[in-house]
Structure 1
Amino acid sequence: MTDIDAVRPLPATARGRRSRQALLDAAKTVFARDGFADARITDIADTAGAAHGSFYTYFDSKEEIFVALLRELEEELWHPAERSSDEPSAADPYGQILRANRAYLKAYRQDRAIMIVWEQVATLNPEVERLRRDAADRFAHRIAVAIEHWQQKGIADPALDPEYAAVALTGMVSNFVYRWSARDADYDLDTAAEQLSVLWANALGVRRPSANP
């Protein structure tokens, strides 16, 4: 597997960036359809409508484009777009929890086939596992900072260790959506986000709006 710490600079021209992105989009389709082991560079190039040799202008190997794709997915998964006007307000802690959980579930479900491939490859390849773990750790750290802030404001249970709680709660959500996707369970996204957020709120001692006296 390629060195996941080596990040090749983006092409200098707009045309080059479009060509590279077309290959990444094609790779997502091919890896999701065929899995990592059976995916072929020729299939990725064909799906992108590119000459087979042009693949190597942007990537050295199947492994390199897979890691580049994972980095792109990581950005979508852990840094979702700003909420739309019909999503819950982030003015209160429960609203922040619900918004974050819903965005994560939505992003994961949109790319669930390739996310399952990522999980499978991570069990076999330590470098891909490290990429997944590091991304999850950064996300958990941001949650830990929020928990500590809520504790300082008297909103969350002061007995909790923010880092432990964040790892446990984010792990619960990621494991839930993986099992949901791998089993193709008939769950509703909004209901899942709400139920997971209720569990978060109860675990943290954060009051939900409906639970206000």
Structure 2
Amino acid sequence: MTDSSDPGEPEPAVRLPATARGRRRRQALLDAARQVFARDGFADARITDIADTAKAAHGSFYTYFDSKEEIFVTLLRELEDELRSPGPRHVQQEEDEGPDRLEPYEQILRANHAYLEAYRKNHAIMVVWEQVATLNASVEALRREAGDRFVQRIERGIRYWQERGTTDPEIDPSYAAMALSGMVSNFAYRWSAQNADYELEKAARQLSLLWANSLGVRVPGPAPERD
């Protein structure tokens, strides 16, 4: 149970404490790990630093996690949940007929805004994830699985829009979903890797306009600004 530079195998299941107090302590360690990994990277992060940041006894760390590797992978799964957004999806018929149904462009904008906002909030740890994934096959597989789930959601949304006649029928949904999801994730990563920042509202609207133009989706009202 020593600090290693190899993140190891991701845990397939989440072990949650039985008590509310235990769950709070576990979450405090995860929150601390987020700070430490973002600040120090994976290789230089230490369990003692995580425990100190969480204001926990060093030995209590092992009540909830077996190693630095396990808490890192658990944190990545938590981040994946945060990055999931209310994006393009297959809308049930009753929702589709409701008065509050969003148009395709509005769904795209909402999804891109939520993703970019979450990525920017966690940009330092996201860069660490990318770096560790290049060195460890298991972490890379976790990253790929997260990306695949996002692509599949987009693909289902495109197919649904095509069925309704609101998207170009000549577009291949699987190819388009892969390309568009990659555009957004690479945009966020490149800015973060350069330790730069982007204007959230402008970035979301510009990327969404690119999505809409590529899919043949109508942009309601005046088009977003082209600065």
Task: Output the TM-score relative to the length of structure 1.
Answer: 0.92
Structure 2 counterpart of 1:149: 160
Matches within 5 A, 1:149-168: 149-168=160-179
Decide which structure has greater helix share: 1
One-letter identity of the residue aligned with 2:58: H
Q: Structure 1 residue 171: deviation in Å?
A: 0.4
Q: What amino acid is the match of 2:122?
A: D
Which whole-Å CA distance do the structure 1 matches of 2:39 and 2:190 have between them? 19
Shift of 1:210: 3.2
State the Cα RMSD in Å. Answer: 1.7
For residues 157 and 121 of structure 1, what CA distance do their matches in structure 2 show? Answer: 39
Query: In the alignment, what sits opposite 1:171?
Result: 182
Q: Give the length in aligned residue pairs.
A: 205
1:24 aligns with 2:6: no
CA distance in 2, matches of 1:108, 1:90: 26
Unaligned 5+ runs, structure 1: 81-88
Partner AA of 2:22 in structure 1: G
Rounded to whole Å, the distance in 2 between the matches of 1:211 and 1:160 is: 25
Quote the offset at 1:10 in angstroms. Answer: 0.3
Matches within 5 A, 1:24-173: 24-79=30-85, 91-173=102-184
Q: Distance in 2 between matches of 1:56 and 1:110?
A: 28
Contact 1:90/1:96 (<8 A) preserved: no
Cα 1:50–1:191 change in 2 (3 A) is same
Q: Percent identity?
A: 70
SS at match of 1:124: coil
**Counterparts of residues 2-17 of structure 1 (less than 5 Å):** 2-17=8-23
**How many Å separate the matches in 2 of 1:90 and 1:53?**
51
Contact in 2 for aligned 1:93/1:206 (Cα 8 Å): yes
TM-score scaled by structure 2?
Answer: 0.86
